[in-house]
Amino acid sequence: MNALVATSRNFKQAAKLLGLDSKLEKSLLIPFREIKVECTIPKDDGTLASFVGFRVQHDNARGPMKGGIRYHHEVDPDEVNALAQLMTWKTAVANIPYGGAKGGIGCSPGELSRSELERLTRVFTQKIHDLIGIHTDVPAPDMGTNPQTMAWILDEYSKFHGYSPAVVTGKPVDLGGSLGREAATGRGVLFATEALLAEYGKSIKDQRFVIQGFGNVGSWAAQLISAAGGKVIAVSDVTGAIKNNEGLDIEKLLKHSVENLGIIGFSGGESIDPSSLLTEDCDVLIPAALGGVINRENANDIMAKFIIEAANHPTDPEADEILSKKGVVILPDIYANSGGVTVSYFEWVQNIQGFMWDEEKVNAELKTYMTRGFKDMKEMCRAHNCDLRMGAFTLGVNRVARATVLRGWEA
């Protein structure tokens, strides 16, 4: 089941629980604006190449729209639509004053030189500069883009509008990026896990963790969980999977994966079949890689008691049902991985104030937001007698619906 179908299904279920007016429900699903632009650049060899760039701006009832820009060879309009909508609910769950957006350019970034990527980014920015902005729509990095991409967008945008560091987040620190942003999603996963385990009278310290994915989110989550006394017993990435029942040495593993471009061949654990990773015996499973990895094929074999969705949409709705019957508790992506967008909000706030925070303040504020978010989500679970995923969706949808009605959506 693709992301758009799953997101729309969750939204409709939440709307039903909340008893939303059907006209309002329909209005909330339709994106505010969809932009599609042609980006033609000269390549290094002098030939011209054309790419299609787009941006879906889903909703701005609660504030400027916010979401990533991805450079990927198959940027699918349906998927971008789903992700823009998901950002609307995610920012509302995190209770930060944003709406949702998502965008991208259909290109293979690996096949373009640095100067070609810069030209492409600048042309894209020229085409959309009057449709994004500090109080309109604030892009961020996503698949295939990084802080350097944001620096180019900032520079190009500033040629039209004057120096505006708050127009994008996820910037290099030298250009107004926030300290703590790089680790933010992984640190948010730590705080979310702490909040969930506390609910069951447990702490990170005495739990065994399995983490799928050792990219930015997975590696930071592993480091922070391990530092908090958790035992990370198995990890996988694109190169393979490794396991050590006594707990992996995450510092050494990180060093190994940087030097060898992957975790394969790490001496501090035995190599296992990556496809068996999700069904390893553990207390907490953290999928931090791709979507749709937990499905009806493997859901019955999962032994974890808790699943923390660090990736976007890792659990299929069918697997959701199987797991809830088994009594597995799933902390939904829309809350669990919102640390990144929360610290993006802090970056934007610092840029607008022209006053930067130290890293301790960033991390302390993140903890406050994540802890409060968990409490709000649990309250919705009690009010509507539903699981955590519906608790999060009803919380987000309700906040957006209320803002929409208060602003006068029928006028």
Exactly one of 26, 36, 102, 326 is catalytic; name it.
Answer: 102
Report the b/e string of 35-71 with b at 16+ CB within 10 A.
Answer: bebebebeeeeeeeeebebbbbbbbbbbbbbbbbbbb
Number of H helices, E strands in the chain: 13, 12
Do the Cβ atoms of 346 and 362 come closer than 8 Å? yes
102 given a catalytic annotation? yes
> Would you say the C-alpha torsion 161, 167, 170, 175 has a positive or negative sign?
positive
Structure tokens at 129: 């500069």
* Residue ranges in 19-173 assigned as alpha helix (H): 22-29, 77-93, 114-128, 147-161
Tell me the C-alpha to C-alpha distance, in Å, between residue 149 and each of 70, 153, 272, 349: 10, 6, 37, 21
Tell me the C-alpha to C-alpha distance, in Å, between residue 115 and each of 45, 118, 287: 12, 5, 35
Tell me if 245 is assigned to a ligand binding site.
no
Beta bridge partners of 368: none
Tell me if 66 is assigned to a ligand binding site.
yes
92: amino acid identity, one letter: A
> Would you say the C-alpha torsion 323, 328, 334, 337 has a positive or negative sign?
negative
Tell me if 216 is assigned to a ligand binding site.
yes
Tell me if 43 is assigned to a ligand binding site.
no
Tell me if 193 is assigned to a ligand binding site.
no
Residue positions forming the annotated binding site for substrate:
66, 90, 344
Residue positions forming the annotated binding site:
66, 90, 185, 216, 344
List residues with catalytic annotation. Answer: 102
Residue positions forming the annotated binding site for NAD(+):
185, 216
